[in-house]
Amino acid sequence: MGEADLHGRDPGSFRVTTSDAFALFLDFDGTLVEIAPRPDAVRVDPALVPTLERLRTRLGGALAIVTGRPIATIDDFLAPARFDIAGLHGVERRLAGTTSGGRPEDHPDLRAGVERLKRETAPLAQVLIEDKGASVAVHWRLAGEAEAGRAQALVRTVAADLGATYRLQLGKAVGEILPASATKGHAIRAFGAAAPYAGRRAIFLGDDKTDEIAFASVNADGGVSVRVGDEETGAQRRLASPAAVRALLTDWADGAPIDPEALPPA
């Protein structure tokens, strides 16, 4: 099925259930796994990796993780499997075993900003700096109201000082500074231009404000967007929780019809 087949159609009325019609893109935190108080405290369901491997096989390889985490971090969580991944919101990408982008040395201004964030958040005991090399996230999930406010103000200031080359992306108790050109929407489109993703209808599952740009992109391209959780969204469909996501993926991996239109509306 070629991309041209989607042109001029209402995506909501376009219903196909064969596995070779779809390419599946999955956020990690809050989608495949539950959100944890600290980024390194995530717990991966033991059945998740085998499920993803079976589903990847059923989809002819057209399954990728699209995340704000670095590729290496996802590899650690999902070892020993190695999936196609867009890491750091697309700053780095691995397709068919070949990785591109994401070198910290390409971002000297950002590296200086990271050091500033580390210095100025040092007195804030419950604020965490997650240095990802080519991006940086400031987490205040564990912080009280005053510390959280200071952390958010600081990451806004540092992002503004870096200028238009970088952008600030706010999520659930986190602010991340990353290259302005990096979005999950761009990453999904880049995968969609290459085998085995080309010519397939994209399904993207995500859970956060940071996924809304990708929802809009997937919707515009005739794909299916699925929001995990109950927050307001531009996605078309909804699942209640990462547990519900894992149950759906297990069904699909085990041969159930892949029919995202059957999911509850958002």
CA separation for the pair 98, 261 (Å, rounded): 33
* Contacts for 7 with CB less than 8 Å, ≥ 6 apart: 222
The pLDDT of 20-36, averaged and rounded, is 96
pLDDT of residue 123: 95
pLDDT of residue 236: 97
17 pLDDT band, cuts 50/70/90, is: low
CA separation for the pair 245, 115 (Å, rounded): 37
pLDDT of residue 72: 94
Catalytic: 27? yes
Q: What is the pLDDT of residues 187-234, one digit of tens each?
A: 999 999 999 999 999 999 999 888 999 999 999 999 999 999 999 999
Q: What is the pLDDT of residues 148-179, one digit of tens each?
A: 999 999 999 999 999 999 999 898 899 999 99
pLDDT of residue 18: 66
The pLDDT of 20-26, averaged and rounded, is 95
Residue 14 has pLDDT above 50, yes or no: no
Q: Tokens for 116, please give them.
A: 């500033």
If we measure between CA atoms, which residue out of 75, 70, 73, 94 comes closest to residue 84?
A: 94
- The answer to whether the CB of 208 falls within 8 A of the CB of 215 is no
Q: What is the pLDDT of residues 109-140, one digit of tens each?
A: 999 999 999 999 999 999 999 998 889 999 99
Which residue stretches of 164-211 are H helix? 184-192
**Which residue in 5, 27, 207, 230 is the catalytic one?**
27
CA separation for the pair 243, 264 (Å, rounded): 15
Cβ-count burial of 85 within 10 angstroms (0-12 exposed, 13-18 middle, 19+ buried)?
Answer: buried
Q: Tokens for 153, please give them.
A: 């103000």
Give kind and range of the element (H or E) at residue 130.
strand 128-131
Encode burial over 201-228: b for 16+ CB neighbours within 10 A, e otherwise. Answer: bbbbbbbbebbbbbbebbbebbbbbbbb
Q: How many residues would you count in the chain?
A: 266
Phi and psi at residue 171, to the nearest 5°? -130, -150
Q: What is the mean pLDDT of the chain?
A: 91
Q: Please state the pTM of the whole predicted model.
A: 0.81
96 pLDDT band, cuts 50/70/90, is: very high
